[in-house]
Amino acid sequence: MRLSTATLTFFGMVTSAISTPAMMRPAQYNNATTANADDRYRYDSDVQTLVAESMAGPNGKVNIGYFVNWGIYGRNFQPQDIDVTALTHILYAFADCDATTGVAKLTDTYADQEKHYATDSWSEPGTNLYGAMKQLYLLKKANRGLKTLLSFGGWTYSQSGHFNFVTNPSARATFISTAITLLEDNGFDGIDIDYEYPSSTEQGNGFAALIAELRTALDNHARNKGDVIPYLVTAAVGAGPTGYNTLPISQLNSALSFWNLMAYDYAGSWSTVSDDQANLYPGQTMTGFSTETALNYYLSHGASPNKVVMGIPLYGRAFTNTAGIRKPFSGVGPGSWENGVWDYKDLPRPGSTITEESDSVASYCYDAGAQTLVSYDTPNVVDKKAAYINSRGLAGGMFWELSNDKRGSESLVGTVARALGKLDTTQNHLNYPGSKFDNIRSQMGAMPPTTTSYISTSAPTTTVVVSTPPASSTNSSTVGGTCAGMAAWSSTAVYTAGIQVTYAGYLWQAKWWTQGETPRVYEGSPWNQLKSC
């Protein structure tokens, strides 16, 4: 860990857990262009389901990250910027639904389907998918173990009552058919529901019915397409009583692929004292919440450990005018994009001291001069959380949200991936014959390369092995020797994750989208040096 502007201290301390307003669409992006889906995949409850296949689990731990469609704007975080080598699943946030009819819809068609990136043509024939969703499909082609899910809801839409339809069987059927249309059109591997939160037993039962019916419909969809690998159904759920008291957990567990436990936002602007926002154990915290407490509740009520994914925040919550942890505060101050919330990549704050609480497994930075404290997870803390995931037999880790992470050895996503060990390599879907987009139906015009990716557990670096490299850039030359047939690096070519080139006598592989960045070894480099030629 680099601490050029902060000092580090360690001593024992404690825990906490509540609702999660972090997972919300910012207000300035709530009026983006939307599009409703049609219901060509109408749900039929009488069709036989693929029960055995739908219950098939991953073949390793999962490492899941949320990608937000508003991130392409001010944050300038594009799908090509995702380091997919440390991930098994990407959840695309957020799609929406009509509170009365249940119709599923996209929230920003420009970001999702229309934005043209540097490699996109303006003149290709047909009706084609562009935007961030096309880029995710391309990432899937290059990384066959990477699955993508379309996530519906989030804090903003949930609090606006958009899931009120779940108590209406007809509206549930409409949501399911139109959501599957969006899945098929845009090339997703499953559907994630982020309903924050069912406020009554009736809504909880309606939510469980929605998940069960969605599971059945997706199994039927796979069977009708001849797909052997099932589509996924996941749910983001709360880590406090508000999030889980109304849920029929055992019933939900039978239909869910994963529970994404939102194990953060235990403290924030709504609190009475500064406190830990994502502590693992209850210790000296005053919130009354902890991740272990929430986990034990879910497990004791019927959730399977190997389906529970622990959420980890890629952000910190600030408290100003405070004398330290668990002290009164006044205000939350500025943040990276909204007041009181700092991206992990902007932490620790300059001049602050980091404290890691060993008893609660939590951390924060504190600037005594500015009287400002930020509760966030350090790499040491998430390493301990990953060890806990392994020791409890949980499914893996989940992150909100990917644009906030650091690169290199301080990446929290990478830290957890290395600590978890073997990651899930279950193959994704590429075949979408029912898509309305020509390039999705044609799988972008070519069959994908065969790729294998893995996370090294012996060093804080990420390695990708590609058994069949993608085609080389047309404006590059080739070289001989042990790298015969490989394209030479070109400063004008665009490279995406997995593409291999030669430069300065070595074979290199792109980690993510890059153009004009010379292949070199340094922290944050978009290139992996594979071997000498």
Q: Which residues contact 354 (CB under 8 A, 6 or more apart)?
A: 3, 6, 7, 8, 9, 348, 363, 364, 365, 378
The answer to whether 278 and 317 have CB atoms below 8 angstroms apart is no
* Helices assigned H by DSSP within 168-311: 169-186, 201-225, 241-244, 249-255, 291-300
Please give the sequence-ordered ranges of beta strands (E in DSSP) within 415-522, or none if there are none. Answer: 452-454, 463-465, 494-495, 500-503, 506-510, 514-515
pTM as predicted: 0.79
Q: How many Cα atoms are found within 13 Å in the side-chain-facing hemisphere of 181?
A: 20
> Which pLDDT does position 180 carry in this prediction?
98
3-state secondary structure 60-117: CEEEEEEEEHHHHCCCCCCHHHCCHHHCCEEEEEEEEECCCCCCEEECCHHHHHHCCC
Q: Which CATH number is correct for 18-262+406-420, 3.30.110.30, 3.20.20.80, 3.90.1150.10, 3.40.50.1460?
A: 3.20.20.80
Q: What is the distance between the alpha carbons of residues 171 and 102, in angstroms, rounded to a whole number?
A: 5
SS3 content of the chain, % helix, strand, coil (to 5): 30, 20, 50
188: helix, strand or coil: coil
Residue among 278, 361, 366, 288 nearest 12 (CA): 361
Q: Which amino acid is at 184?
A: E
**The tokens 């996503």 sit on which residue?**
413
| DSSP 8-state symbol, 63 | E
The helices-and-strands tally (H runs, E runs) of the chain is 12, 23
- Is the peptide bond prior to 348 cis by the omega test (within 30 degrees of 0)? yes
Q: What is the distance between the alpha carbons of residues 357 and 326, in angstroms, rounded to a whole number?
A: 13
Q: What is the distance between the alpha carbons of residues 249 and 295, in angstroms, rounded to a whole number?
A: 12
220: tokens are 């039927």
316: tokens are 């910190």
Going by their DSSP bridges, the two strands 258-262 and 308-313 should be labelled as parallel
Return the active site residues. 196
Ranges of CATH 3.20.20.80 domains, the chain:
18-262+406-420
CA angle 163, 73, 373 (to 5 degrees): 80
> Which pLDDT does position 471 carry in this prediction?
34
pLDDT in tens, the chain (533 residues): 333 333 343 333 333 334 456 777 666 666 566 778 777 666 554 433 343 334 446 899 999 999 999 999 999 999 999 999 999 999 999 999 999 999 999 999 999 999 999 999 999 999 999 999 999 999 999 999 999 999 999 999 999 999 999 999 999 999 999 999 999 999 999 999 999 999 999 999 999 999 999 999 999 999 999 999 999 999 999 999 999 999 999 999 999 999 999 999 999 999 999 999 999 999 999 999 999 999 999 999 999 999 999 999 999 999 999 999 999 999 999 999 999 999 999 999 999 999 999 999 999 999 999 999 999 999 999 999 999 999 999 999 999 999 999 999 999 999 999 999 999 999 999 999 999 999 999 999 864 433 333 333 333 333 222 233 333 333 333 334 568 888 998 877 877 778 898 888 888 888 767 777 788 775 556 788 888 88
> Which pLDDT does position 485 carry in this prediction?
84
349: helix, strand or coil: coil
> Which pLDDT does position 57 carry in this prediction?
64
Residue among 266, 282, 378 nearest 319 (CA): 266
95: helix, strand or coil: strand
Q: What is the distance between the alpha carbons of residues 55 and 211, in angstroms, rounded to a whole number?
A: 14
Q: Which amino acid is at 52?
A: A
Please state which architecture CATH assigns to domain 469-532.
Answer: Ribbon (2.10)
